[in-house]
Every structure is written in structure tokens, then in C-alpha cells.
A and B are shown apart, each in its own frame.
Chain A
Amino acid sequence: MSLLTAVVVWLITLAISIPFVTRTWWMPEAITDIGRLIDESFMVTLAITGFIFVVAQVALGYTVWKYGRKSDGSADYTHGNNKLEILWTAAASVIFVGLTLTGFSVWAETRFIDRRSMEPSEGRLMIEVTGQQFVWNMRYPGEDNQFGPTDINLIDDAAGNPVGLDRDGPGGADDIMVPEMRVPVNREVELALKSKDVLHNFFVPELRIKLDTVPGLVGTLRFKADKEGKYEIVCSELCGLGHYKMRSFLYVVSEEEYDAWMEEQASYLF
């Protein structure tokens, strides 16, 4: 029984670890600098916790095997060892707190964005994202680089105005509303995240960032994608019966392609 228990614990440990080493199921490739930094934190954490995981399970199995065999004599009588207690307390503190401290600068870069207005800033592409059951609405400020005003009384899904945009208000005439997101490669993008109804969560795995869209609040996320492609936006906060199909796409395209697309969208307006 002692050997069986040890071997099962060891085999389970091996089975869980292997796919993490062979990367059978793995994160999609990151397409931002921030994303790659997050991957680095992940790899450091994986290495350290993987080591602790394997050592702890092997030690557990070994102890059970070694002291579970039939033997003469009685068990040891000891109340513990204070030196050892202090040693592993200190080691655990340094490792665990150290890990999280190393990730803080990345967190600050992703999330410490002090924006209280919707004013677009120099060279940065602003997109307003509004979640609703069960679609994403993207709004671009248009050629004037200014978002038009919205009015809750103008909201009309059937008429194609899901956010209540006032086309007659200042800067509202050229705002572009689309269900998918298109951004130029290597351009800094800032998202203003909103919700019309319940909580949703804007998540693009390749960007490595997610944030809840909360009704009544404006959340901000920033990213600069450096690889062209088509990526999925998946809702990651339970939002109702259609949660699983609340999906959209992020297209990262070349400047030229983006400009052409913009022009095409603008041409539909008038």
C-alpha cells in the first residue's frame, strides 16, 4: 500500500506536468510588448511553482513510501524543529511576495491610465467599446477625432443606433459604429469600455488583457499590437443566456488597409 500510494501520487504529478513542458495546450502568441512581459512573469511563476509542486508531491510520496513499510521499532517522538519552521517560513515569504513584486511594473503600465475624459490624445487611436447582451459595439470618433454626444432616449437597436449617438450634436455626424474592431498595426490604441446593461468583459487572448465593462463606469485599456492578423474578442464575464456566443473580432491591419477601411466606412454615412 505504501508503494502504491507513492507511485500514484508521482504518476499524477508527472501526468499534470507533462503538457506544461511539451506545451500541448498553450497560450496563443502574444502580439504586444506588454503581453510578452506578462508571458515572462508567467514563465518565471511556472518555473518556480512547477519546482515547488514537483518537490512537494515527490516528498509526500517518498515519506509515505519510506515510513509506510513494515518495520520494527516505534515511531520517532519529536514535537518539531523550530529552525526548520523559521527556514521554510522565510523561504516561502521571499519567493511568494517576490514573485508578485516583480510583476507590478507591468501591471502599472497596463492599468495606470488616468483618463477622466473622452478627449482623444495625440497620435493615439481612441475606440469606444460598448457591451450589450450579446454583441459588442465599437465606436470610432471619425475624421474630426471627436466623439459625438449620446442620449439614452435615442437608443434604438432596430434603427442601428445601439448607443444612442446624437448625429446632430457636435462631432457626432462622422462617428463610425461597427460591430468589429479594426486597428492599424504598431499604433497605440486606447479603449473606453462601457456597458449598456449588465457586466461583460472585453478579452482578447493575444493582447493578454481583459477588463469588465461595467454599466455606469468607463474602463480604460491600452495596447499596441505589432502583428497583423484576425483575433477573437471573447466575453469573459457571465452576461446572460447568450454569454457563450458574445464574440467579435479584432483585425490588426496595415496603416494603408486601415485608412482604406476608414474611408469606406465614412462613405456609408452620407
Chain B
Amino acid sequence: MTEVQVSEEVAEYTEVHRHPEPKSFIWKYIFSVDHKVIGIQYLMLAVAAVFVGMFLSLLVRLRLVWPEESIPLLGQLFPIGAPDGVMTPEFYLAMLTMHGTIMVFMVLTTAPQGGFGNYFLPIQIGAADMAFPRLNMLSFWSTFVSFMLLLAAFFVEGGAPWSGWTGYPPLSAVPEATVQGFGQDLWVASIAVFCIASLLGALNFIVTTLDLRAKGLTMFRMPLTCWTWFVTAILGLLAFGVLLAAGVLLLMDRNVGTSFFVPGGLVISDKQIDHSGGSPILWQHLFWFFGHPEVYIAILPGMGVTSHILSTFARKTVFGYKAMVYAVLAIGFLGFVVWGHHMFVSGMSPYSAFVFSILTMCIGVPSAIKTFNWIGTMWGGKIRFTSPMLFSIGFVSLFVTGGISGIFLGQPTIDLFFHDTYFVVAHFHLIMGVAAIFGMFAGLIFWFPKMFGRMMDERLNKIHFWMTFVGVYAIFGPMHYLGMMPHPRRYAEITSVDYLEAMGAADLHLFITAAAILTILAQFLFLFNLIKSIFKGKECRDPNPWEATTLEWTISSPPPHDNFAGKVPHVYRGAYDFSLPGTKRDFAMQCNNDEAVFGSRPASSGD
């Protein structure tokens, strides 16, 4: 067992900060201010959302292979969207829009940061809770309201919006353009509430990281997970405010007759639209000023988890820890100055493409550094093939594949051809979608024993990993070829374009849909394993089953209400001291001083 050292001043601080453990069910599990409960609430919301989002993607895939055929049960489920089981084009677009929105906001933004970050940031830095526990509760419940608003869009008259997850006006702003109403308003409102929730969360994460670190835990001793949560929070703070403003303006354009995004002179079905003076391109600037950092909000925590897990299971310290930190900071900074690469063909000034392109290509540099260092971390290690390790290796592979296609799209001339084709769909799904989700799977299995005091079924995890790893490549790999044809995105069917039929797009679509169905089946295996393991998994009494080094592994599983049971940890070393020469065990925990690590040998370096 590891010793937990207490420093007096920190103990005093924690004492002031402590909130008593609530007794009633509602305050303990529902309106909880405990960061661990809130973290699990975020994770549960993300699991619910990811299965909804996945179901929508299944409908999208089915429509693409059977556009005119009747699909059993669908007619009963969606009498308006799929009369007699045949999905209408607008139903297809609505499913696609909601799939994107739910996945980006409710899954990729919530689980990595709100879920794992909430649960493990305070513990990894040795704090009793987040800096602002009540604000934390407010963040989660605002997110919950936002999710409900979004789901409500399915059930109102006119149904869910179909202007894409990017919601480009005038399509999203002028009801006449879609013959549609309240669903789009709910969509905008949902995003606005989500922005507020994320802003509150971001503030909380930043203050917690800066102010509540245990004694001895300097910034450069933090686990890389904490670094990525910290930088993600800064991105969230700067990005969500802009989207919030844009959302409010769009809501006003739709409902109170302003014209921020709608120009004059629109004529739809011979009817003149009463707007003037706005710019559709303004929305794109505001949206992508958020939208590009959002990509990093989704994937940075996954990078942190991957670094953490690769090091732990290679039994080797992170290769180039500082380079990794600087790379994360560089990606975070560059993420804010490249939004224009989404707009090369939008009609914005072609001169700005030069700047956006050079800056975009610069992101390849820190990304390459990270990839090299991940491989460098494993090089010379003793790899343990646990399922979190497999998912982390999968993350690196997907990150490389998804990143490489970005080199094409970042060049404006090549983007002229590929923009808005399936090549883009393949690119962002690989890197922002499945790579990020692999980070979540890795993190969930890795921290599962800490959160629930039980282990997940390792055999099922491995079957799930192999099916998913091969499955996602089978889905998104061929989409690059569709992009070569070039197959435009967001087409409800391919029957109207001759060259798509001639080049065999239908066969590729059939292959992709089959791969998607198999991959979706594998996710039910995961869901089964998750639920079974929470209640019946093998009990794990060892606080440190993976022989890891960071602070969460010094406390019992699940952790006590105040995390360190009244004690305050003192940190003596960096986060990844594996296989230190001259030690008996192949890992040295952060709270162990040199005496504890090297036995009776006198400490060589004082702290």
C-alpha cells in the first residue's frame, strides 16, 4: 500500500473547502455537487446520446442503399418521415442533421471532458472536488436540458431540422426554405444552452487545474490527461462564447425579423422574403471559429488518455513529456486560427486562403510530434496487451489515417475538388469521430475499476475492440474512394448523378452499410458488458490493479466522498516514472518520495 502524505496548510485549505456528504438520494445522486457523481452523469448522458446518434446513422446508411424500398417496421415507427417504410429525402436529411449534432455536442464534447475530466481531474491533481461544485452541477443539468431540447425537435410539428449540423443560413434561417418550423428553433436553442453549460464547465476546469493542485504537483508533473483537460477547457472558454452569440443571432433572424445572416432579395417559390442586409458567410465565420476548436475539444482529451495509457502499459515513461505538452498547447493555439479552411469555396476572399492554408498545415507539425512520441513511448517498453492499451494503439492508428487526409483538404487547390464530398466525411469521422471515441473506450475500461470497484469483462472488451477497429476502417476507408469519384455529401440518393452509378458508388455504399451494421452490433456487446460489469463485474479490491502511478490509484475504489479520506496527498515526482533503474517494482507512484521508491537508499534529489 502506498503512503499518503499530508501537508498541513493544504489540509487546512481542504478543510475549508469540504462539503459534507449528502444523505438523501436526490442530493446524492441527482442534484449532486460531487464531481464523481457528476462525471458519471455526464458519461451516462453520453452513452444514451451515442446510441441515439448511432441509430440515426443506421437509418442514414439504410436509406443510402435502399432509397425506394420499404423497410420493415420503419413505417410504424415514423409514419410521417417514412410513410410505408420508405424514408423521404427530408427525413434522411433530418436524421443526418441530428446524427451530427448529437454526436458532436452530446457525445464528443460531454464524455471526454465533462465525464472523465470531471471525475479524474480533481483526483489526479489531489483535490477534494472541483473548484466550484455548484457550478459543476449547473453545467451538467444545463447540458441535460440542452439534450432534451434537441430530442424534443423530433416530436414537434415539421419534425427535426434538416439544415445539417452546420446549420448554414439561409436554409436554417428562413422557414420558407425548408417548409419547416419549430424543430430548427429547438435545435438552435439547444445549442445555445449547451454553450452556456460548456462555458461554466470550462471556467471550473481552468480554476481547478490552476488552484487546487496538491503540494509538489507542479504543472510539469501533471499527468498528460490533466494537461489536455486544461487546454480543452481554455478552448471551450474561447470558442463556445462565439457560438452562443451566433446561435442567439440566428434565433432572432428566425423569430423576430432581424437579418444578421440573411441578405435582401431572396425569392423562394416566387415569394419574396422579407429580409435585408445580412450575410450568410458571417454565420460560417462565427460557426467555424467555434467549429474548428471544437474538433480539438473532442480529441485532445483522447490524446491525453492515449499518452497516459500507452505509458502505463508499455511500463515506460512518456517519450518527450515536455514536447507532448508543447504540442498540445500548439494544437490548441493553432486550432483558433485555421477556421477559414472550412470556407475555401464559400465565396470568402480567396486571398485569405493563403493564410488559413499555411496555418492549417502547421497543425500537422505538433500532430506529427505526438505520433512520433507515442511510438517512441512504446519503443523499448514491455507492452501489456490490456484492452485499454489496444484501444490506445487503435487511437494512434486512426489518428494517423484521419490526419493524413487532412493534408489534402488543407490545400485550397485540392480542396476545390474534395470539398463537400465523402472524402471530407471520411476524414473527420476517422479523426474527430472514431479516434476520439477510441480514446473514450480506452479511458472507460482503464478507469472502470476505480469508478465502480469492479473490472469489466476483458474477453468481451477484446472482442469488442477487434470488431470495432476493423469495422470503423471498413466503414470510413471506402468513403475516401467515394470522395475520389467525387461523391457529394448529404445526397439522399445517388440515382440523379450518372457518374456515381457508372463508377459503382452503389456497391461501395452497400459494403459500407454492411460494415456499419456489424460495427453497430459490436457496440451492443460493449453495452451489455458495461451494464453487466457495473452490477456483476469481478470485484476489484486492489486500489491499483493496473500498477499505474498517478494519484487516483492511491485511493480506494470507488473513492470516498472527499477523494482522499481527509488526507491530502503530497506529490514527489512526475506522472510517468515507470521502470526506474534501481527499484524493485517497475513503477513509482507520484506520492512516493525517493526513500519509498528506492528503499533505504538515501534520496538523491530533494524536493
Contact = CB atoms under 8 A, between A and B. Distances in A.
Nearest to A134: B496
Given A77-B581, A216-B263, A241-B90, A211 B319 contact: no
B256 interface: no
B407 A236 contact: no
26 contacts: A5-B385, A8-B466, A42-B408, A45-B414, A49-B404, A53-B404, A68-B383, A80-B322, A80-B376, A96-B362, A96-B407, A103-B411, A110-B413, A197-B170, A197-B266, A197-B267, A197-B273, A198-B170, A201-B420, A210-B417, A216-B278, A219-B347, A234-B488, A243-B89, A243-B492, A244-B89
Interface in A66-120: 67-68, 71, 74-81, 84-85, 88-89, 92-93, 96-97, 99-101, 103-104, 106-108, 110-112
Contact of B385 (A45, A68, A199): A68
Contacts of A101: 358
Contacts of B480: 16
Contacts of B323: 80, 85
Given A49-B407, A216-B279, A236-B488, A241 B89 contact: yes
Interface residues on B, range: 35 or more
B319 A25 contact: no
- Of the listed residues B273, B347, B368, the one surrounded by the most CB atoms of chain A closer than 10 A to its CB is B347
Given A5-B385, A67-B314, A76-B380, A241 B162 contact: yes
A260 interface: no
B603 to A, nearest CB: 18
B177 A112 contact: no
Given A64-B393, A78-B319, A240-B178, 6 more contacts: A25-B481, A75-B316, A100-B361, A104-B354, A133-B177, A201-B420
A79 B171 contact: no
A215 B280 contact: yes
Contacts of A93: 362, 365
B229 interface: no
Contact of A214 (B281, B372, B470, B492): B281
Contact of B397 (A12, A77, A100): A12
A199 B170 contact: yes
- Of the listed residues B163, B323, B421, B493, the one surrounded by the most CB atoms of chain A closer than 10 A to its CB is B323
B401 A53 contact: yes
Contacts of B504: 25
A82 B93 CA distance: 50
A250 interface: no
Interface in B424-452: none
Contacts of A201: 345, 420
Contacts of A164: 267
- Of the listed residues B163, B267, B361, the one surrounded by the most CB atoms of chain A closer than 10 A to its CB is B267
A180 interface: no
B487 to A, nearest CB: 9
A122 B401 CA distance: 48
B499 interface: yes
A245 interface: yes
A103 B382 contact: no
Interface of B: 88-90, 93, 162-164, 168-171, 174, 177-178, 263-270, 272-273, 278-281, 314-323, 345-347, 350-351, 353-354, 357-358, 360-362, 364-365, 368-369, 371-373, 375-376, 378-383, 385, 390, 393, 396-397, 400-401, 404-405, 407-408, 410-414, 416-417, 419-421, 466, 469-470, 473, 477, 480-482, 484-486, 488-494, 496-499, 503-504, 508, 578-581, 586
B365 A96 contact: yes
Given A38-B416, A157-B270, A215-B265, A232 B498 contact: yes
Contacts of A135: none
- Of the listed residues B273, B315, B407, the one surrounded by the most CB atoms of chain A closer than 10 A to its CB is B407
Contacts of A166: none
A234 B495 CA distance: 12
Interface of A: 1-2, 5, 8-9, 12, 15-16, 19, 24-28, 37-38, 41-42, 45-46, 48-49, 52-53, 56-57, 59-60, 63-64, 67-68, 71, 74-81, 84-85, 88-89, 92-93, 96-97, 99-101, 103-104, 106-108, 110-112, 132-133, 152, 155-158, 164, 196-199, 201, 203, 205, 208-217, 219, 232, 234-245, 247
Task: Kindly list the 8 A-B residue pairs having the minimum CB-CB distance in the complex, ordered from nearest.
Answer: A216-B263, A76-B380, A80-B320, A111-B350, A244-B491, A25-B481, A245-B496, A92-B368
A228 B242 CA distance: 48
A17 to B, nearest CB: 10
A150 B168 CA distance: 27
Contacts of A46: 408
